[in-house]
Chain A
Amino acid sequence: MRRVSNRYFVFNVLIGTLPSLLGAAGLALSGALPLGAALALPTFAFVLSLMLAWLSSQRFHQPLVSLLEDYIATMRRVAEGDFRLRLPLRNEGLTQELGSLNQLGQAANAALERMQAVALDFTRALDRLEADTQAILEATARQIQMANEQDAVVTETTATVNEVRATVTETAERAQSVAETAQLSVSISKSGLEAVSETISGMDLIRRKVEDIADNILVLSEHTQQIGEIIAAVNALADQSRMLALNASVEAARAGEEGKGFAVVALEVRNLADQNRDATVQVREILGEIQRATNSAVMVTEEGSKGVDSGQTLVNKAGESINELARAIEDAALAAMQIAASTRQQTIGMDQLTNAMRTIKHATTETVSSTMMVEASVQRLREAAQRVKAALRGLVVE
């Protein structure tokens, strides 16, 4: 009964331990190898120890005991981290018990084989992961640095664009005011041209008037000439009258007492003749003055018509100059208006540029923050990998 119960106990132990062994192997295979190995391997060793203790009590199973002892020692070393070890196997002299144990060793060896491969894969993957996260971190650091530089450049560019925009706006305002001034100048020069044409017609009128004056003065001069001739005739008559009176006086004087009355008459006649002569002298003087006045009037009118000629020439020149000036100002006005229009377009372009810069800046900020998030994630990943690696440290897999 006791043997049956012992046997039952061993069977039970084996049955109960097997799931644990399989669980440890499963755990190791499912990726939680360090933990699984840490738990499963001592458990496996402990199970083997129990089996040994039981076998020792049976006494007749000496080869079995030595094999188990070998198994225990090997498993203890495996638990210390050397995954290269394998359980020794027997190929001959197998009893029923030894065959079972040998099968157990084969299964354990297969598990170890698998665990060694997985640990090796893990170690290599972690190395690779570390190098890759290192590269990613370097890349993100560069990316953040470049994004910061880009942000600075964009800020600078935005400032420059704003300055240029201010200049362009000022240019547009100035061009506008130039255009307005030029427009005003054009209207002023037009009124100048009207004044010139009025002056020209006024000059024509003056010329005609001066010519009329010259004609009238010529007629006046001829009349004065005729008056002079008449006066000369009157003068000659006066001289003759005087001579006659003198002759009468002489005759009266020669007649003596009888001629006295006659002498008085002769004196009267001579006085009249003298008065006549004085009058003609006065008229002649006045005529002379008239003649001089008409002569100077003729000269003055000639100078006047010359003045009108040169005045007309000057006015014509002034008109041409004003015309040219007006054309030049009109061109300037047109150019200024074109400048104003193109600077307005430039302003629109600058605004678009500013908006584009704002968008770029926003995008850069976004890039920086998401890169930082990526960096943090990678950092965490790296730390996790380092923890795993630390746990794997001490395993000998190759």
Chain B
Amino acid sequence: MIWDELGWDDEGQRQRLAEERLRQRAKAYAAPEVDPTPEAALLRVLSFRLGDERYGLDVQAVRGVRPLGQMARLFQAPPFYVGVINQRGQMMTAFDLRPFFGLPIDPQQSPPDEAVLVEGQGLRLALLAHRVEDVQPVLRADISAAALRYARGVTSDRLIVLDLEALLSDERLRLT
């Protein structure tokens, strides 16, 4: 029943889906750019969800995304440093934005199981995420400046665009 719906076993169905997808793609390519927003007006951000908030990061600062995978817990560390992970043979520190921002951790929620890898100011961190969403263009003009210390601002659809430079520059991250 479910197999019928999915059409996995149906060669013709799979063929039709593939053709449909190609057609859409061709249409997208062929379509004239209706609103050719100048590239300079756009900021490409990677959006992700953590707790009840959605955050956006400038893709230029992003080094990649990954499932959190196995993480070694850290003890006697600040609460935002939750552990270390092995990223292709190198140690990376897992960082939880919520305690850093003083936000509560809902015990009902499952622990974050994805990570966005960032680099800057001599630091390489794996930011915890409940779900990495998408790379999406954001109009720079849509980012309204908020009184947030580590954010460039908030978009109209409540995406908090983080200021990674400011974040990574924080003294608290520097451990002696």
B59 contacts A250, C-beta separation under 8 Å: yes
B44 located at the interface, meaning its Cβ lies under 8 Å from any Cβ of chain A in the complex: yes
B135 and A250 within 8 A (CB): yes
Interface membership of B2, Cβ < 8 A: yes
Q: A240-B67, A250-B135 are in contact. Are A256 and B39 (CB under 8 A)?
A: yes
Answer whether residue B127 sits at the interface, using C-beta atoms and an 8 A cutoff: no
Cβ contact of B135, chosen from A253, A257, A279, A283, cutoff 8 A: A253
User: Interface size class for chain B?
Assistant: 20 to 34
Chain B binder among A54-62, A173-181, A241-249, A313-321: A241-249
Which residues on A sit within 8 Å (CB–CB) of B21?
268
- Determine the main DSSP class of A at the interface with B: helix
Bound: A190/B134 CA distance, A: 81
A286 interface residue (CB < 8 Å to B): yes
Given contacts A256-B39, A268-B21, A282-B2, contact A246 B60 (CB under 8 A): no
Contact A257:B39 (CB < 8 A) given known A249-B134, A268-B21, A279-B6: yes
Give which listed residue, A246, A263, A264, A268, contacts B65 with CB less than 8 A.
Answer: A246
On whether the beta carbons of A263 and B39 are closer than 8 Å, the reply is no
> CB distance A268 to B44 under 8 Å?
no
> B99 an interface residue at 8 Å Cβ cutoff?
no
A249 to B2, CA, bound (A): 31
- B2 close to A263 (CB less than 8 A): no
Once A253-B135, A268-B21 are accepted as A-B contacts, the answer to whether A247 and B65 lie under 8 Å apart by CB is yes
Contacts of A69 in B (CB 8 A): none
Q: CB-defined interface of A234-268 with B at 8 Å, one 1/0 digit per residue?
A: 00000110010011011011101100000110001
Over the window 51-91 of chain B, the binary record of Cβ atoms lying under 8 Å from chain A Cβ atoms (1 yes, 0 no) is 00000000110101111000000000000000000000000
Checking B5, B66, B135 against A249 with a beta-carbon cut-off of 8 angstroms, the contacting residue is: B135
B50 interfacial contact with A, CB 8 Å = no
A residues near B39, Cβ cutoff 8 Å: 256-257
Residue on B nearest A270 in the bound complex, by CB: B134
Cross-chain contact A250 with B66 (CB below 8 angstroms): no
Set of chain B residues within 8 Å of A243, measured between Cβ atoms? 65-67, 114, 132
Cα of A268 to Cα of B25 in the assembled complex, Å: 9
Separation of A264 and B135 alpha carbons in the complex (Å): 11
B125-151 with Cβ < 8 A to chain A: 132, 134-135
7 closest A-B pairs by beta carbon, nearest first, are A249-B135, A253-B59, A253-B44, A246-B65, A253-B135, A247-B64, A250-B62
